[in-house]
Structure 1
Amino acid sequence: MKKPQSLRKIFTVPLLLAVLSVAGLVIALAGDGWRDAASWAALGAPVLAVGWAMKARRR
């Protein structure tokens, strides 16, 4: 049987992805130029995380 994990360990990555997503949305509304690239990167991180998790789960 696996050892139970702490709440901090369970929710660290999802909370980080949520903060990154909100930051990406706010940056996208703030302006153009470099902010567009930053918002694409911030909003693409959760998509990449889901792809990585799906690939890791199939193994």
Structure 2
Amino acid sequence: MSDDSISEQLSKTNEVLAEWAARSASDSEQLIERFERMGYAVRGKSEDEIAEVLKKPPTQPAQA
């Protein structure tokens, strides 16, 4: 398996996980709060917007 293939698979997996997490977060204030503490600005966003945010690195430092 080439590095490109592994990289592609990892990217696809991350996208699937971001979309799953966004669906879960849209129904869970606790999950929204957890993502916010991790540095992801997701509060007040739609499911699709949350998925896009989660596909990128956090924009804020993580909080304890």
Larger Rg: 1
The higher relative CO (CA closer than 8 Å, separation ≥ 6) is in 2
Shorter-chain TM-score: which interval?
0.3 to 0.5
Which one has the bigger helix percentage?
1
- The alignment's TM-score, normalised by the length of structure 2, stands at 0.41
